[in-house]
Amino acid sequence: MPSPDAERSQRSGRHAEDAAEALLLNLGHTAVARNLRLGHLEVDLVTRDPADGSLVITEVKARRGGRHAPELRVDRAKRRHLIRAASILLARRSFRHCAVRFDVVAVELDDQGRPVDTRHLPRAFTANDG
């Protein structure tokens, strides 16, 4: 049974992902997958951007308080993880000819773990940044 802190963290993570998904859908994106598992890799959100048809791999980063913006926690290891996940996804027949991009959605949470600010960073990095 998870500890109360772990449950609180999972709940906050779900709230952050809900807020990120809502933001992208409001921008006109079409949902493809959420918490997509590709072997041992996981992608928070996969959407399609209607502007150019790109497959958008989105990392959601949340924080409660603190000094640093949550998007700064998308480090080199996380970028490599997402790039590997994208290559697996793009090998699938239905995505084989898709352009892909990597976005980050940063979510600021209140003390209760509810989103109070959500920022979308399109094209936060490229496959060459891994």
pLDDT at 72 over 70: yes
**Is 62:16 a contact under the CB 8 Å cutoff?**
yes
Please tell me the pTM assigned to this model.
0.90
pLDDT at 33 over 70: yes
Residue 124, domain CATH: 3.40.1350.10
**Is 100:86 a contact under the CB 8 Å cutoff?**
yes
Q: Residue 91 belongs to what domain range? A: 4-129
| Beta-carbon-side half-sphere exposure of residue 102 (alpha carbons within 13 Å) | 21
pLDDT at 93 over 90: no
For residue 82, CA distances in Å to 3, 25, 57, 90, 112 come to 29, 21, 8, 12, 29
Domain count, the chain: 1
- Tell me the residue ranges of DSSP E strands in 49-114: 55-64, 100-109
pLDDT, average across residues 19-46: 96
Average model confidence (pLDDT) across the chain? 91
